[in-house]
A and B are shown apart, each in its own frame.
Chain A
Amino acid sequence: MDRTHELLDPIQQTGEERMVLNLGPQHPATHGVLRLVLELEGETVVNCKPVIGYLHTGFEKSFEVRNYLQNVTLTDRMDYLAPLSNNFGYSLTVEKALQIEVPPRAAVARIALVELTRIGSHLTYLASQAMDTGAISIFLYCFREREKLLDIFELCSGQRMMTSYIRPGGLALDLPPGFEKSVDSFLNEFPARLAEYEALLTENGIWQERTVGVGILPAEDAIALGVTGPNLRASGIDWDIRKATPYGGYEEYEFAVPVGTRGDVFSRYQQRLTEMRESVKIVRQALNRLPAGPHMTRDRKVAYPPRSELATSMEALIHHFKLATEGYRVPAGEVYQAIESPRGELGFYLVSDGSSRPYRLRVRAPSFVNIQALARVAAGHLVADLIALIGSLDPVMGEVDR
Chain B
Amino acid sequence: MSEQQAAVAEATNPIPTPVVAKVREQFGEQVLEVRERLGETTIVVRSEAIVALARFLRDHPDLAFNHLSDVTAVDYLNLNREPRFDVVYHFYSIPKRHRLRVRAPVPEDDPTIATLTVLWPGASFPEREVYDLFGIQFAGHPDLTRILMPDDWVGHPLRKDYPIYGEEIEFSHNRETVERKTLGYG
Contacts and interface: CB of A to CB of B under 8 A. Distances in A.
Most buried by B among A239, A251, A333, A362: A362
Given A239-B94, A347-B70, A226 B122 contact: yes
Interface in A340-363: 345, 347, 349, 351, 353, 359-360, 362
A53 B110 CA distance: 27
A336 B101 contact: yes
Contacts of B162: 61
A244 interface: yes
Given A52-B147, A237-B94, A101 B120 contact: no
Interface of chain B: mostly helix, strand, loop or mixed: mixed
B37 to A, nearest CB: 6
Contacts of B13: 245
B124 A245 contact: no
Interface stretch (B1-9, B19-27, B48-56, B177-185): B1-9
A244 B125 CA distance: 26
Contacts of A402: 148
Contact of A359 (B40, B78, B149): B78
Interface in B88-125: 88, 90, 94, 97, 99, 101, 120-125
Nearest to B98: A245
A245 B93 CA distance: 11
Nearest to B13: A245
B148 A401 contact: yes
A224 interface: yes
Interface stretch (A172-180, A183-191, A194-202, A364-372): A364-372
B43 interface: no
Contacts of A353: 78-79
A65 B72 contact: no
Interface in A42-65: 52-53, 56, 58, 60-62, 64-65
B169 interface: no
A313 interface: no
Given A61-B158, A336-B40, A351-B74, A224 B120 contact: yes
A362 B38 CA distance: 18
B11 A245 contact: yes
A334 interface: yes
Contacts of A64: 164
A400 to B, nearest CB: 9
Contacts of A223: 66-67, 94
B70 A349 contact: yes
Contacts of B74: 351, 359-360
A243 to B, nearest CB: 10
Contact of A364 (B12, B90, B121, B133): B90
A316 B86 CA distance: 41
Contact of A369 (B37, B125, B133): B125
B38 A246 contact: no
Contacts of B99: 245, 336, 338
Contacts of B42: 334
A65 B148 contact: no
B125 A224 contact: no
A52 B148 contact: yes
Contact of B121 (A225, A228, A247, A345): A225
Given A58-B157, A353-B79, A372-B125, A334 B37 contact: yes
Contact of A333 (B1, B37, B69, B90): B37
A225 B157 CA distance: 26
A227 interface: yes
Contacts of A336: 40, 90, 99, 101
Interface in A66-125: 96-97, 99, 101
B68 interface: yes
Contacts of B101: 334, 336
Interface in B139-153: 146-150
Contacts of A245: 11-13, 97, 99
B69 A53 contact: no
B126 interface: yes
A345 B2 CA distance: 26
A53 B147 contact: yes
B122 A372 contact: yes
A335 interface: yes
Nearest to B66: A223
B68 A244 contact: no
21 contacts: A53-B150, A56-B149, A61-B158, A61-B162, A61-B164, A65-B164, A99-B1, A101-B5, A224-B120, A239-B94, A244-B94, A245-B11, A245-B12, A247-B12, A251-B11, A333-B38, A334-B37, A359-B78, A369-B126, A372-B124, A401-B148
Interface of B: 1-2, 5, 8, 11-13, 37-38, 40, 42, 66-70, 72, 74-75, 78-79, 88, 90, 94, 97, 99, 101, 120-126, 129, 133, 146-150, 157-158, 162, 164
Identify the 5 closest CB pairs spanning chains A and B, nearest first.
A226-B122, A225-B122, A53-B148, A364-B70, A56-B148
Given A224-B122, A369-B125, 17 more contacts: A224-B121, A227-B122, A237-B94, A239-B94, A245-B97, A245-B99, A246-B12, A333-B38, A334-B37, A334-B101, A335-B38, A335-B40, A336-B99, A349-B90, A351-B74, A364-B70, A372-B125
